[in-house]
Amino acid sequence: MLPRPRTAENGSTLVVALIMCLTIGTVLASYLMLIGSRYKVTVRSQSWNAAVPVMEAGIEEAMTHVYDDGNNPSANGWTPDVLSGLPVYWKQRSFSDGSYFRATIYNATSNNPIIYSAGFVPSPFQSNSYISRVVKVTGSQMPLIFVAFASINSITFHGNGLAANSFNSSDPALSTNGQYDPSKTSTNGDVASVNGPVDFGNHSIAGNLYLGPNATSSVTAGQVSGTIYNNYNVSFPDVVLPTTTWLPAATTGGRHDFTVSGDYYVSDSLDVQVEPGVSVRLRVDSTSFSPGNVNILTTNGNSGSLTIYQVSGSGSMAGNVTVQSGRARNLYYYGLPGVTSITYGGNSSFIGVIYAPEADLTLNGGGNNNGLIGSSITKTITMNGHYNFHFDEDLLSSGPSRGFTVSSWQEQ
């Protein structure tokens, strides 16, 4: 039998098979390339995202540095330099995974530092190469005293009337010779409570009410001239006793009369007087501090100043507290964590600042003209008498700072 010759159909089948194999191979190759490309994009995206916490670590360290070492910007390994004719301080810190940040601070000694932080992470596909992200952050000082009164827990008021407004002892338009003037007031008498409950009774405030997310309140919108916020989130740090050499306070005529500036301590409740131009920090070791009179004198606009640190126990100011300047900045009372109770029932207005986050503040008695001129921040507030709070807005700039906060964030 003779062999059959190849037919056209056999050749066509082979061609079709070859085309199908090429098509499948091309599709498979394209799919593998797509998978590989997506894998590279995913890995690079992960590295891009991983640069963020590195960058933020640089911001955190820089913010801590300007707060802790504002008077010594080259401390703790920060290197002074000049960029574009401006003095800067920079620092680089490396991590075990090969990533590192480089942070640079402009205006390091000011209240508004500018921080550039660059976070670098190793590139996943190129050796000795990095993926980086850079952010510019502007910081600003956040005042510790920023409301007429605040509590961590409850606020309970009895009576009626205007409970809070504001003035400014450093602004002639909002004070008279630094004194509170009821004809020159503003509406920044803000009130805050982290946890509540808050009960104003029949009182109202000329300002905003700030409530924590879990705080309860019976205050109505008609009792607040501003806005009631329910997302208030802040912490009040405990008082820390300054590290210094405390000297025993001398006694003259049955009282402590300070004529020389310095740091002193007492273990009694004798009257306290500070002469004009004298600046005193006073550590109180008595667990029941109740001076009959506290006088801070002023001559020709030159006022004395007194900062009290009570270590533990209770504080009671049932006598007269006189700050002749009328400025709250001239009297600070700090209650350390061991102070759990503060009572004020004097025959005159209290001018100054009460800051004791672990203490219950009780206001008793008081005539129609009595008030608390300055600010108070305590664990709770209970008002049994008639008091008005007049927040001194001067404390926003003259008072202590709780640290730097980020006021702007721009990724470069």
E strands, 271-400, are: 271-274, 279-284, 288-289, 293-296, 298-299, 302-303, 305-317, 320-323, 331-344, 350-363, 371-383, 388-392
- How many whole angstroms separate alpha carbon 116 and alpha carbon 411? 9
- How many whole angstroms separate alpha carbon 286 and alpha carbon 267? 5
Which portions of the chain are predicted below pLDDT 70? 1-11, 31, 34-41, 43-44, 159-162, 319, 346-347, 365-370
- What φ, ψ does residue 175 adopt, rounded to 5°? -170, 165
| 3-class secondary structure, 180 | coil
The pLDDT of residue 340 is 96
The pLDDT of residue 75 is 92
Percent of the chain whose predicted confidence (pLDDT) is above 90: 63
The pLDDT of residue 319 is 67
The pLDDT of residue 392 is 97
The pLDDT of residue 109 is 84
Q: What confidence tens digit (pLDDT) does each residue in 121-136 have?
A: 998 877 888 999 999 9
The pLDDT of residue 39 is 61
The pLDDT of residue 202 is 86
Q: What is the pTM of this model?
A: 0.77
